[in-house]
Amino acid sequence: MRSLTLRTYIAAGFIITLALTYWLGFQAKEKLKEINTHASRINQEALPGIFLSGRIETIAHETGMLVLKNLLSVNEDQRAEFGVRINDNLTELSARFHEYERTVRGDSAKQRFDKLDAARTEYSGIIKQLLKLSNDGKAQEAMELNVTRLVPAFENLINAARAEVAAGKLNSDLAATGILKSVSGAEEGIRNTLYTTLFVSLLVATLIIGFATRRLSSVTASINESIRHVAGQAVALNTVSASVSHGAGEQSIALRDTRNTLAGLAAIADKTAEQSQHAEKLAREARSATTTAAASTTEMAAAMKAIKDTNAEMSAVTSNLSASAGELQAAVDSIQSASREVAKFVSTVDQMAAQTTILALNATVEAARAGEAGRSFAVVAAEVKSLAQRSGVAARDIGVRIKDMVERGEVGVRVSSRMVESIRVLTHRATEVRIGVDESSARAAEIEAALNHIAVLTQNVDEFVTHVASAVGDQNKSVSRITNAVGRMSEVTEHNTTHAANSLTAVRALHD
């Protein structure tokens, strides 16, 4: 029953530790999946829209400036060059839209994209009409078309692009919040599982050591009791041998008491044989108990090895977690790098807006110099200046939002660093558990050596009892010979005296 109980403790501790280890790995894996999902959302839903919107504004502003230059230029070669550049910009804008269309997911994103694409199509169509009017020499009609239709189409395109930027920022904020929650949950799960594993390991080790200590105490008590019984039997044998020697010395004086003495000697010999058998039985029981204790100690050593193997598996899991955390940090760094690239594009847009404002001011000055002939050109220049100012405001707004995204990415990096630190602490704790298991294994080895020594001592006691039983058998044979030789007692008195003295010497030697 006790061996079964010990095995139950060992199996329960091993199963609980293994279950906690796999639970830790499962939870960490799920959290990493959530983080990867949120990061993919940023890469696939937020950044492409923001990048496309910034590029749309850049191309739109550049195309608008080229259209004005085309309308105001009197040189045919320059107008042709401006027309080629305008068509190239429209082609690039169309290619960007087709590239972004492959990344659109969800009904709301599809609606925003359709609205943006419709604004882009309208804007491109009006520009092509302006180019045709300009090439046909209808500059006045082209200027009116620019003011009445191209400017509203431009504003519609810019507003749609800004709506895409706002949606991208919202998706980015939601994904960043999800990443922070997942990382926080992973930290909490790892910490709780670590504490639970350490507590269960210490509890199981304490139960096993306490159970083994109680078993050894019981075995030691049984061995001590057996030794006391054997010592008592040796004293009894010493007393009997002394009585035999004394009776043999007096046989020559009192032969008439021979029969009574022989009867008492036979009874004592029978009792001695019975006690010797009992002592031998006790010695066998002590040896059996020692063997059982040694087996229990072996089981305890096997359990310690199982716990050590489990701890090694937990160390492997924490190594995998460290690698996954490194991949997470690399993903967050990649997101930050992409955000910085977008910030560069926004800075370029801001610079172009500033340059456009300067060109508009110059155009206004030139229109003022031209007088009445430059009035329509002054209207266009004022409109260009207004558009440039709005573009600058939009670029700065996008820059602020990109900066906010970069700061959130830095928060994600710090959280990832804390997660790596938590995994390092887990690895350190697992090492401490392994050291404790090694110490327990060493103690189990010492206990096993002590039990082996006790087994040797028990074997010596068993051999001693065997010698005593042999001596008692010899004594019984002597009594039988004395009984058969009562008629010749006078002739063998000297022989009996010598034999009794030898028996006393042998018994005392055995007792010592």
- Give CA–CA dist 231/216, Å, rounded: 23
DSSP-derived secondary structure for 388-447: HHHHHHHHHHHHHHHHHHHHHHHHHHHHHHHHHHHHHHHHHHHHHHHHHHHHHHHHHHHH
pLDDT-derived band at 2 (thresholds 50, 70, 90) equals very low
- Average pLDDT value for residue range 79-104: 86
pLDDT of res. 1: 43
Report residue 279's pLDDT band, with 50, 70 and 90 as the boundaries. Answer: low
Work out the average pLDDT over 53-68: 83
Residue 363, pLDDT score:
74
Give residue 340's pLDDT.
Answer: 74
Q: What is the pLDDT of residues 154-173, one digit of tens each?
A: 899 889 888 888 887 787 77
pLDDT per residue as tens digits for the range 457-506: 667 756 765 775 676 577 667 656 766 755 666 666 667 667 656 766 76
pTM > 0.85: yes or no = no
pLDDT of residue 230: 47
Task: Give the range with max mean pLDDT: 28-32, 99-103, 327-331.
Answer: 99-103
User: In sequence order, what are the residues at sequence separation of 6 or more whose Cβ sits closer than 8 angstroms to the Cβ of residue 165?
Assistant: 49, 50, 53, 54, 398, 401
Between helix 76-101 and helix 47-72 the angle, nearest 10°, is 160
pLDDT band at 126 (very low <50, low <70, confident <90, very high): very high
Is residue 232 over pLDDT 50? yes
Residue among 333, 311, 278 nearest 202 (CA): 311
Q: What percent of the chain has pLDDT over 70?
A: 63
What is the 8-class DSSP label of residue 46? I
Please provide the distance, in angstroms rounded to a whole number, between the alpha carbons at the two ends of the chain. 40
Please report, to the nearest 10 degrees, the dihedral formed by the alpha carbons of residues 307, 312, 315, 316 taken in order. Answer: -130
- Range with top average pLDDT, 75-84, 434-443, 496-505: 75-84
Using the predicted structure, report yes or no on whether residue 178 has a pLDDT greater than 60.
Answer: yes
- How many CB atoms lie under 10 A from the CB of residue 322? 15
Best-predicted range by mean pLDDT among 18-22, 78-82, 171-175, 418-422? 78-82
- Which class for 340: exposed (0-12), middle (13-18), buried (19 or more C-beta within 10 A)? middle
Give one word for 106, left, alpha or beta, with left for phi > 0 and alpha for psi -120 to 50: left
State CA 39 to chain mean position distance: 22
Q: Which residue did the predictor score with more confidence, 255 or 285?
A: 285
Report the b/e string of 10-22 with b at 16+ CB within 10 A.
beebbebbbebbe
Torsion region of 371: left, alpha or beta (phi above 0 gives left; psi -120 to 50 gives alpha): left
Top-ranked range on mean pLDDT: pick from 25-34, 109-118, 165-174, 241-250: 109-118
H-state helical runs in 136-150: 139-145
Confidence category of residue 426, pLDDT binned at 50, 70, 90: low
pLDDT, one tens digit per residue, over 372-400 is 777 776 777 777 777 777 777 877 777 78
pLDDT-based confidence at 413, cuts 50/70/90? low
Q: 234-264 b/e with 16+ CB inside 10 Å = b?
A: bebbbebbebbbebbeebeeeeeebeebbee
pLDDT tens-digit profile of 3-53?
A: 556 677 677 777 887 787 778 777 777 867 777 776 666 665 556 667 777
